[in-house]
Amino acid sequence: MVQALGERRLSTGKTQSLKKLAIEIMRQAGTGEPVRLVLQTWSEHSDKPLIIFLDEVDALVGDTLISLLRQIRAGYAQRPEAFPQSMVLCGVRDVRDYRIHRSDGEIITGGSAFNIKSESIRLADFSQADVKALLMQHTDATGQIFEPGALEEIWQDTQGQPWLVNALAYEACFRKPEQRDRKVPVTVEQMRQARESLILRRDTHLDQLADKLREPRVQRVIEPMLQGVDLPPDVPDDDRQYCIDLGLIARRDGKLQIANRIYREVLPRELTSILQDSMQGKAELPWFVLPDGSLDMDKLLDAFQQFFREHAESWLQRYAYHEAGPQLLLQAFLQRVVNGGGRIAREYGLGRGRTDLFLQWPLSRQGFLGPMHGRWCWS
Protein backbone atom coordinates (compact mmCIF):
# COMPACT_ATOMS: atom_id res chain seq x y z
CA MET A 1 0.00 0.00 0.00
CA VAL A 2 2.76 2.46 0.98
CA GLN A 3 4.82 1.61 -2.10
CA ALA A 4 1.76 2.25 -4.29
CA LEU A 5 1.44 5.79 -2.95
CA GLY A 6 4.43 6.77 -5.04
CA GLU A 7 2.41 6.12 -8.19
CA ARG A 8 -0.85 7.83 -7.16
CA ARG A 9 -1.96 10.82 -9.19
CA LEU A 10 -5.02 13.04 -9.14
CA SER A 11 -7.71 12.36 -11.72
CA THR A 12 -6.78 15.62 -13.46
CA GLY A 13 -3.43 14.10 -14.33
CA LYS A 14 -1.49 16.45 -12.08
CA THR A 15 0.87 15.06 -9.48
CA GLN A 16 -0.61 15.04 -6.00
CA SER A 17 0.78 17.68 -3.66
CA LEU A 18 4.16 16.39 -2.50
CA LYS A 19 3.59 17.75 0.99
CA LYS A 20 0.27 15.96 1.40
CA LEU A 21 1.70 12.85 -0.17
CA ALA A 22 4.68 12.91 2.20
CA ILE A 23 2.37 13.23 5.21
CA GLU A 24 0.33 10.29 3.99
CA ILE A 25 3.44 8.20 3.41
CA MET A 26 4.84 9.04 6.85
CA ARG A 27 1.52 8.17 8.49
CA GLN A 28 1.16 4.81 6.77
CA ALA A 29 4.81 3.81 6.87
CA GLY A 30 4.86 3.91 10.68
CA THR A 31 8.15 2.46 11.88
CA GLY A 32 9.12 1.31 8.39
CA GLU A 33 11.16 3.50 6.04
CA PRO A 34 9.19 6.75 5.74
CA VAL A 35 12.18 8.97 4.92
CA ARG A 36 13.39 6.72 2.11
CA LEU A 37 9.88 6.42 0.67
CA VAL A 38 9.29 10.18 0.74
CA LEU A 39 12.63 10.83 -0.99
CA GLN A 40 11.91 8.07 -3.50
CA THR A 41 8.49 9.55 -4.29
CA TRP A 42 9.91 13.04 -4.64
CA SER A 43 12.66 11.83 -6.97
CA GLU A 44 10.22 9.88 -9.14
CA HIS A 45 8.02 12.93 -9.58
CA SER A 46 10.89 15.35 -10.26
CA ASP A 47 12.03 16.01 -13.81
CA LYS A 48 15.57 16.71 -12.56
CA PRO A 49 17.91 14.85 -10.19
CA LEU A 50 17.56 16.06 -6.58
CA ILE A 51 20.23 17.33 -4.22
CA ILE A 52 19.02 17.33 -0.59
CA PHE A 53 20.50 19.20 2.39
CA LEU A 54 19.63 17.87 5.87
CA ASP A 55 20.55 20.47 8.47
CA GLU A 56 21.52 19.68 12.08
CA VAL A 57 21.32 15.97 11.35
CA ASP A 58 23.84 15.23 14.12
CA ALA A 59 21.27 16.40 16.66
CA LEU A 60 19.59 13.01 16.19
CA VAL A 61 20.68 10.30 18.59
CA GLY A 62 20.41 6.56 19.09
CA ASP A 63 17.88 4.55 17.10
CA THR A 64 16.58 7.65 15.30
CA LEU A 65 20.00 8.38 13.84
CA ILE A 66 20.59 4.73 12.98
CA SER A 67 17.25 4.59 11.17
CA LEU A 68 17.97 7.72 9.13
CA LEU A 69 21.43 6.54 8.07
CA ARG A 70 20.16 3.12 7.09
CA GLN A 71 17.30 4.55 5.03
CA ILE A 72 19.74 6.80 3.17
CA ARG A 73 22.03 3.82 2.63
CA ALA A 74 19.14 1.71 1.35
CA GLY A 75 18.15 4.32 -1.23
CA TYR A 76 21.71 4.91 -2.46
CA ALA A 77 21.55 2.32 -5.25
CA GLN A 78 18.32 3.82 -6.65
CA ARG A 79 19.92 7.15 -7.61
CA PRO A 80 18.98 9.32 -9.46
CA GLU A 81 15.66 8.02 -10.82
CA ALA A 82 14.20 6.93 -7.47
CA PHE A 83 16.43 8.64 -4.91
CA PRO A 84 18.33 11.96 -4.63
CA GLN A 85 21.50 12.13 -6.66
CA SER A 86 23.37 13.63 -3.70
CA MET A 87 22.64 14.31 -0.04
CA VAL A 88 24.49 16.70 2.24
CA LEU A 89 24.33 16.01 5.98
CA CYS A 90 24.97 19.33 7.71
CA GLY A 91 26.10 19.55 11.32
CA VAL A 92 29.00 20.39 13.56
CA ARG A 93 30.49 16.89 13.31
CA ASP A 94 31.86 14.70 10.57
CA VAL A 95 29.71 11.63 9.94
CA ARG A 96 32.58 9.50 11.26
CA ASP A 97 32.05 11.15 14.65
CA TYR A 98 28.40 10.18 15.00
CA ARG A 99 28.49 8.07 18.17
CA ILE A 100 25.69 5.51 18.22
CA HIS A 101 25.36 3.41 21.38
CA ARG A 102 23.85 -0.06 21.33
CA SER A 103 21.83 -1.32 24.28
CA ASP A 104 24.93 -3.14 25.55
CA GLY A 105 26.91 0.13 25.56
CA GLU A 106 29.03 -0.69 22.51
CA ILE A 107 29.63 2.24 20.18
CA ILE A 108 28.83 2.05 16.47
CA THR A 109 30.53 4.88 14.61
CA GLY A 110 28.85 6.55 11.67
CA GLY A 111 31.58 5.39 9.33
CA SER A 112 30.85 1.69 9.82
CA ALA A 113 27.08 2.12 9.75
CA PHE A 114 27.13 4.54 6.84
CA ASN A 115 29.92 3.79 4.39
CA ILE A 116 28.78 5.79 1.35
CA LYS A 117 30.36 9.11 2.33
CA SER A 118 31.97 10.85 -0.62
CA GLU A 119 33.62 13.86 0.99
CA SER A 120 33.69 15.81 4.24
CA ILE A 121 33.84 19.59 3.92
CA ARG A 122 34.29 21.96 6.85
CA LEU A 123 33.14 25.56 6.58
CA ALA A 124 36.30 27.47 7.38
CA ASP A 125 36.40 30.48 9.67
CA PHE A 126 36.61 33.93 8.10
CA SER A 127 40.03 35.47 7.78
CA GLN A 128 40.64 38.89 9.31
CA ALA A 129 40.38 40.37 5.81
CA ASP A 130 37.04 38.59 5.34
CA VAL A 131 35.70 40.07 8.60
CA LYS A 132 36.77 43.56 7.57
CA ALA A 133 35.22 43.16 4.10
CA LEU A 134 31.94 41.97 5.62
CA LEU A 135 31.70 44.91 8.02
CA MET A 136 32.65 47.36 5.29
CA GLN A 137 29.54 46.20 3.42
CA HIS A 138 27.55 47.59 6.35
CA THR A 139 29.41 50.90 6.05
CA ASP A 140 28.82 51.02 2.29
CA ALA A 141 25.11 50.29 2.70
CA THR A 142 24.34 52.59 5.66
CA GLY A 143 27.18 55.10 5.86
CA GLN A 144 27.88 54.09 9.46
CA ILE A 145 31.59 53.74 10.14
CA PHE A 146 33.48 51.73 12.72
CA GLU A 147 35.66 53.50 15.24
CA PRO A 148 39.39 52.69 15.03
CA GLY A 149 39.91 49.52 17.04
CA ALA A 150 36.33 48.21 16.65
CA LEU A 151 37.25 45.92 13.76
CA GLU A 152 40.22 44.57 15.72
CA GLU A 153 37.94 44.04 18.73
CA ILE A 154 35.46 41.90 16.79
CA TRP A 155 38.32 39.91 15.27
CA GLN A 156 39.86 39.19 18.69
CA ASP A 157 36.46 38.22 20.07
CA THR A 158 35.55 35.83 17.26
CA GLN A 159 38.74 34.85 15.40
CA GLY A 160 36.48 34.72 12.34
CA GLN A 161 33.92 32.17 13.61
CA PRO A 162 31.10 32.91 11.12
CA TRP A 163 28.13 32.77 13.49
CA LEU A 164 29.89 34.87 16.12
CA VAL A 165 30.98 37.52 13.58
CA ASN A 166 27.44 38.02 12.32
CA ALA A 167 25.80 37.83 15.75
CA LEU A 168 28.25 40.27 17.31
CA ALA A 169 27.99 42.76 14.44
CA TYR A 170 24.18 42.61 14.53
CA GLU A 171 24.16 43.09 18.30
CA ALA A 172 26.44 46.14 18.04
CA CYS A 173 24.70 47.77 15.05
CA PHE A 174 20.99 46.92 15.27
CA ARG A 175 19.84 45.65 18.66
CA LYS A 176 19.24 48.98 20.47
CA PRO A 177 17.60 52.12 19.01
CA GLU A 178 20.63 54.31 19.73
CA GLN A 179 22.81 51.87 17.81
CA ARG A 180 20.69 52.35 14.69
CA ASP A 181 21.72 56.00 14.36
CA ARG A 182 23.97 55.66 11.31
CA LYS A 183 25.61 59.04 11.95
CA VAL A 184 27.20 57.65 15.13
CA PRO A 185 30.26 55.43 14.68
CA VAL A 186 30.30 51.92 16.14
CA THR A 187 32.69 52.07 19.10
CA VAL A 188 34.99 49.57 20.76
CA GLU A 189 32.88 49.73 23.92
CA GLN A 190 29.72 48.91 21.93
CA MET A 191 31.49 45.81 20.67
CA ARG A 192 32.41 44.84 24.24
CA GLN A 193 28.87 45.39 25.46
CA ALA A 194 27.56 43.37 22.51
CA ARG A 195 29.88 40.50 23.49
CA GLU A 196 28.56 40.55 27.05
CA SER A 197 24.96 40.62 25.82
CA LEU A 198 25.55 37.60 23.59
CA ILE A 199 27.11 35.64 26.43
CA LEU A 200 24.34 36.48 28.91
CA ARG A 201 21.53 35.79 26.42
CA ARG A 202 22.92 32.36 25.53
CA ASP A 203 21.64 32.20 21.97
CA THR A 204 21.30 28.77 20.40
CA HIS A 205 24.90 28.58 19.18
CA LEU A 206 26.36 29.31 22.62
CA ASP A 207 23.81 27.09 24.32
CA GLN A 208 24.84 24.17 22.11
CA LEU A 209 28.47 24.96 22.84
CA ALA A 210 27.78 24.72 26.58
CA ASP A 211 26.00 21.41 26.06
CA LYS A 212 29.12 19.93 24.41
CA LEU A 213 31.09 20.52 27.62
CA ARG A 214 29.26 17.61 29.22
CA GLU A 215 30.66 15.12 26.71
CA PRO A 216 33.54 13.07 28.24
CA ARG A 217 35.70 13.35 25.12
CA VAL A 218 35.35 17.15 25.23
CA GLN A 219 36.09 17.27 28.95
CA ARG A 220 39.30 15.26 28.45
CA VAL A 221 40.62 18.07 26.24
CA ILE A 222 39.09 21.20 27.77
CA GLU A 223 39.78 20.50 31.45
CA PRO A 224 43.60 20.54 31.15
CA MET A 225 43.34 23.73 29.09
CA LEU A 226 41.36 25.41 31.90
CA GLN A 227 44.08 24.32 34.31
CA GLY A 228 46.85 25.58 32.05
CA VAL A 229 48.62 22.21 32.02
CA ASP A 230 49.73 20.01 29.14
CA LEU A 231 47.24 17.55 27.72
CA PRO A 232 47.79 14.09 29.24
CA PRO A 233 49.49 11.69 26.81
CA ASP A 234 46.53 9.31 27.01
CA VAL A 235 44.11 11.84 25.47
CA PRO A 236 43.29 10.29 22.06
CA ASP A 237 44.12 12.22 18.90
CA ASP A 238 40.52 11.63 17.86
CA ASP A 239 39.29 13.63 20.89
CA ARG A 240 41.53 16.56 20.04
CA GLN A 241 40.39 16.55 16.42
CA TYR A 242 36.76 16.30 17.54
CA CYS A 243 37.13 19.47 19.63
CA ILE A 244 38.80 21.22 16.69
CA ASP A 245 35.96 20.15 14.37
CA LEU A 246 33.44 21.48 16.89
CA GLY A 247 35.29 24.80 16.78
CA LEU A 248 35.95 24.76 20.53
CA ILE A 249 39.71 24.83 20.17
CA ALA A 250 42.15 25.80 17.45
CA ARG A 251 45.76 25.01 16.67
CA ARG A 252 47.69 28.25 16.13
CA ASP A 253 51.46 28.57 15.92
CA GLY A 254 51.70 24.89 16.69
CA LYS A 255 49.78 25.22 19.98
CA LEU A 256 46.27 24.25 21.01
CA GLN A 257 44.17 27.03 22.50
CA ILE A 258 40.53 27.96 23.15
CA ALA A 259 39.29 29.07 19.74
CA ASN A 260 38.38 32.68 20.52
CA ARG A 261 37.83 35.21 23.29
CA ILE A 262 34.08 34.68 23.50
CA TYR A 263 34.52 30.95 24.05
CA ARG A 264 37.12 31.70 26.74
CA GLU A 265 34.38 33.64 28.55
CA VAL A 266 31.58 31.15 27.95
CA LEU A 267 33.40 28.05 29.21
CA PRO A 268 34.06 29.05 32.85
CA ARG A 269 30.77 30.92 33.17
CA GLU A 270 28.78 27.93 32.00
CA LEU A 271 30.68 25.51 34.22
CA THR A 272 30.15 27.71 37.29
CA SER A 273 26.70 29.21 36.65
CA ILE A 274 25.03 27.33 39.53
CA LEU A 275 27.81 28.33 41.92
CA GLN A 276 27.50 32.00 40.92
CA ASP A 277 23.76 31.92 41.62
CA SER A 278 24.41 30.41 45.05
CA MET A 279 26.68 33.29 46.06
CA GLN A 280 23.91 35.83 46.55
CA GLY A 281 25.04 37.10 50.02
CA LYS A 282 28.66 36.05 49.81
CA ALA A 283 29.72 38.55 47.16
CA GLU A 284 27.81 41.72 47.95
CA LEU A 285 29.55 44.74 46.45
CA PRO A 286 29.67 46.97 49.58
CA TRP A 287 32.14 44.53 51.11
CA PHE A 288 34.76 45.23 48.49
CA VAL A 289 34.13 48.74 47.14
CA LEU A 290 36.25 51.58 48.56
CA PRO A 291 34.84 55.11 49.02
CA ASP A 292 36.46 56.20 45.73
CA GLY A 293 34.60 53.43 43.85
CA SER A 294 37.60 51.17 43.36
CA LEU A 295 37.90 47.61 44.64
CA ASP A 296 39.69 46.70 47.86
CA MET A 297 41.76 43.88 46.41
CA ASP A 298 43.20 42.70 49.74
CA LYS A 299 39.74 42.41 51.25
CA LEU A 300 38.44 40.69 48.14
CA LEU A 301 41.20 38.07 48.26
CA ASP A 302 40.71 37.52 51.98
CA ALA A 303 36.99 36.94 51.37
CA PHE A 304 37.72 34.43 48.63
CA GLN A 305 40.23 32.57 50.81
CA GLN A 306 37.62 32.28 53.55
CA PHE A 307 35.00 31.14 51.03
CA PHE A 308 37.41 28.56 49.62
CA ARG A 309 38.22 27.12 53.06
CA GLU A 310 34.53 26.79 53.92
CA HIS A 311 33.06 25.56 50.64
CA ALA A 312 35.77 24.19 48.33
CA GLU A 313 35.48 20.56 49.35
CA SER A 314 31.72 20.33 48.91
CA TRP A 315 31.70 22.28 45.66
CA LEU A 316 34.62 20.45 44.07
CA GLN A 317 32.82 17.15 44.58
CA ARG A 318 29.95 18.44 42.41
CA TYR A 319 32.11 19.44 39.45
CA ALA A 320 32.50 17.13 36.49
CA TYR A 321 35.61 19.25 35.81
CA HIS A 322 37.05 18.29 39.19
CA GLU A 323 40.73 18.86 38.37
CA ALA A 324 40.06 22.42 37.20
CA GLY A 325 37.78 23.07 40.20
CA PRO A 326 40.02 25.52 42.12
CA GLN A 327 40.47 27.75 39.07
CA LEU A 328 36.75 27.62 38.32
CA LEU A 329 35.85 28.47 41.93
CA LEU A 330 37.99 31.60 41.82
CA GLN A 331 36.54 32.67 38.48
CA ALA A 332 32.99 32.07 39.71
CA PHE A 333 33.65 34.18 42.81
CA LEU A 334 35.14 37.04 40.80
CA GLN A 335 32.42 36.89 38.15
CA ARG A 336 29.75 37.17 40.83
CA VAL A 337 31.53 40.24 42.27
CA VAL A 338 32.02 42.11 38.99
CA ASN A 339 28.67 41.28 37.36
CA GLY A 340 27.14 44.54 36.20
CA GLY A 341 30.06 46.66 37.28
CA GLY A 342 33.26 45.28 35.84
CA ARG A 343 34.81 42.91 33.37
CA ILE A 344 37.15 39.91 33.51
CA ALA A 345 39.48 38.93 30.67
CA ARG A 346 40.84 35.38 30.76
CA GLU A 347 43.84 33.72 29.19
CA TYR A 348 44.53 30.00 29.48
CA GLY A 349 48.18 29.09 29.06
CA LEU A 350 48.40 25.45 27.99
CA GLY A 351 51.56 24.03 29.55
CA ARG A 352 52.23 27.10 31.74
CA GLY A 353 50.35 25.72 34.74
CA ARG A 354 48.27 28.85 35.27
CA THR A 355 45.26 30.89 34.21
CA ASP A 356 45.71 34.66 33.74
CA LEU A 357 42.79 36.81 34.89
CA PHE A 358 42.65 40.52 34.10
CA LEU A 359 40.07 42.29 36.27
CA GLN A 360 38.80 45.70 35.12
CA TRP A 361 36.79 47.87 37.51
CA PRO A 362 34.67 50.01 37.41
CA LEU A 363 32.81 50.32 34.13
CA SER A 364 30.30 52.87 32.91
CA ARG A 365 28.27 53.23 29.74
CA GLN A 366 31.34 54.78 28.15
CA GLY A 367 33.49 51.80 29.07
CA PHE A 368 36.35 51.24 31.46
CA LEU A 369 36.95 54.28 33.68
CA GLY A 370 38.77 53.22 36.83
CA PRO A 371 42.31 52.02 37.45
CA MET A 372 43.12 48.50 36.31
CA HIS A 373 43.11 46.25 39.32
CA GLY A 374 45.84 43.77 38.68
CA ARG A 375 46.71 40.96 36.40
CA TRP A 376 46.20 37.82 38.42
CA CYS A 377 47.94 34.55 37.76
CA TRP A 378 46.40 31.43 39.26
CA SER A 379 48.97 28.63 39.40
Q: Residue 208 domain-assigned? A: no
Same domain, 246 and 280: yes
pTM, whole model, 2 decimals?
Answer: 0.69
Q: Residue 342 domain-assigned? A: yes
Same domain, 290 and 363: yes
Q: Residue 122 domain-assigned? A: no
Nearest to residue 329, comparing CAs of 347, 354, 312? 312
* Cβ atoms 249, 221 nearer than 8 A: yes
pLDDT value of residue 370: 45
Q: Residue 362 domain-assigned? A: yes
pLDDT value of residue 109: 52
* Cβ atoms 226, 267 nearer than 8 A: yes
Q: Residue 366 domain-assigned? A: yes
- Total structural domains within the chain: 3
Q: Domain range for residue 296?
A: 219-378
Between CA 130 and CA 278 the distance in angstroms is: 42
Q: Residue 119 domain-assigned? A: no
The parts of the chain modelled with pLDDT lower than 70 are: 1-18, 29-31, 94-115, 117, 274-287, 317-319, 339-340, 349-353, 363-379
Same domain, 104 and 165: no
pLDDT value of residue 104: 56
Same domain, 109 and 132: no
pLDDT value of residue 136: 95
Q: Identify the domain boundary among 47, 80, 113.
A: 113
* Cβ atoms 361, 342 nearer than 8 A: yes
CB neighbours of residue 35 within 10 Å = 20
Same domain, 236 and 342: yes
Q: Residue 213 domain-assigned? A: no
pLDDT value of residue 9: 38
Q: Residue 236 domain-assigned? A: yes
pLDDT value of residue 119: 76
Nearest to residue 113, comparing CAs of 63, 69, 58? 69
pLDDT value of residue 377: 45
Same domain, 177 and 228: no
